[in-house]
Structure 1
Amino acid sequence: MQLHDLTVPVYIQMLGTLSGLVVKAADSGNAEALFAARLAPDMFPLATQIRFTCGQAGEAVQRLTGKAFTAPAEDDATPSAAKARIAATLAYLEQATPDDFADPELPVELALPNGMTFGMTAEQYVRDWAMPQFYFHLVSAYAILRQQGVPIGKADYVPYMARYLVSGPALG
């Protein structure tokens, strides 16, 4: 399986989920407080989790394709701004083709702001860093909304599964 297939379709699908969660946050009538809410005092708030989720997807594809991605450094303060960020990330991802992606064995060096540097192949980067980081921030956003009482559940996290439904009650 190609690196494109392991990343872009997943990112697109799950950013669609994140967009739906932002709509639910907006519908709660308390979006400003939600965007500042966090799971624990030492964790980032919802607004940052949304920014990081989009950033993880875009930065991974940039690293694997060389196609420039600009991740804004500031958090979004409103649901409409967050939805615009998600839409911009989706537009970036949708232009990436399988031919754009690096060889899975290409060396990747990941330097973190804290001074730690990791060396791995492109495939290891996707498996061991890019996807786990993406899901961590996405699930953190979901958990913040649940913790704050937004009426969401599993069907809101995996709405794309409805296309596979062959029998049983409808999702939703």
Structure 2
Amino acid sequence: MTISVYDVTVPVFTRMLTNLLAIMDKAEASAAERKFDTKVLSDMRLSPDMIPFRGQVMIATDHVKGCVCRLSGREIPSWPDTEHSFDELRARIRKALDLLATIRPEDLAGGESREVTLKLGGQDVTMPGLTYLTERALPNFFFHVTTAYAILRHGGVPVGKRDYIG
């Protein structure tokens, strides 16, 4: 059995973003039960020098769109980072899910060898698609989704590993 670039991107991103939506639903219910605005959670961070929950969601979705577009040769859509509320963040996640729904296995065929150029430390760095996928896109996506989960968990939202994994 051959595993394709599609197999390790679209279904993985779709599952994790769908799980994040469900975790946000639990967070909203928890906030309502405890009688506080979800804006508190949206602005929450684990450390003073860390990006807040809302930023983690924005960056995770940026990695989704960047990854599938770079590896398929598509133009990366520009999404302004203006979301603050849970509803706005959910809409952004759904926008990423809608983008993923347009990607077919044939769109990503050959993506592992497609040259990807990123700006890293102010320098253009070019790498094969597989290196980009395994060393940049997936680790960054999981970092930000995990951090978003951890922020909500730290904020008292009753979620566990099963919620994260789905």
Letter aligned with residue 93 of structure 1: L
Letter aligned with residue 14 of structure 2: I
Counterpart Cα distance in 2 of 1:7 and 1:121: 16
TM-score normalised by L of structure 2: 0.89
Letter aligned with residue 7 of structure 2: D
Counterpart Cα distance in 1 of 2:123 and 2:25: 37
Give 1:82 deviation, angstroms: 1.2
Is 1:21 the counterpart of 2:5? The answer is no
Query: Which of residues 61, 71, 74 in structure 1 aligns to 2:81?
Result: 74
Give 1:106 deviation, angstroms: 2.2
Give runs of ≥4 in structure 1 deviating > 4 Å. Answer: none
For 1:168, the equivalent position in structure 2 comes to none
Counterpart Cα distance in 2 of 1:94 and 1:70: 15
Give the conservation status (yes or no) of the 8 Å contact 2:71–2:114: no
TM-score normalised by L of structure 1: 0.86
Counterpart Cα distance in 1 of 2:77 and 2:21: 19
Query: Which of residues 106, 115, 120 in structure 1 aligns to 2:122?
Result: 115
For 2:38, the equivalent position in structure 1 comes to 31
Counterpart Cα distance in 1 of 2:107 and 2:84: 34
Q: Which runs of no fewer than 5 residues in structure 1 stay unpaired?
A: 160-172
Q: Which runs of no fewer than 5 residues in structure 2 stay unpaired?
A: none
For 1:148, the equivalent position in structure 2 comes to 155
Give the conservation status (yes or no) of the 8 Å contact 1:69–1:92: no
Deviates more, 1:82-91 or 1:114-123: 114-123
Give the conservation status (yes or no) of the 8 Å contact 1:47–1:75: no
- Pairing 1:70-149 to 2, within 5 Å after superposition: 70-101=77-108, 103=110, 104-112=112-120, 114-149=121-156
Query: Which of residues 69, 83, 90 in structure 2 aligns to 1:62?
Result: 69
Give the conservation status (yes or no) of the 8 Å contact 1:102–1:122: no
Give 1:117 deviation, angstroms: 3.2
Give the conservation status (yes or no) of the 8 Å contact 1:51–1:75: no
Deviates more, 1:2-11 or 1:72-81: 72-81
Counterpart Cα distance in 2 of 1:40 and 1:116: 29
Counterpart Cα distance in 2 of 1:85 and 1:109: 25
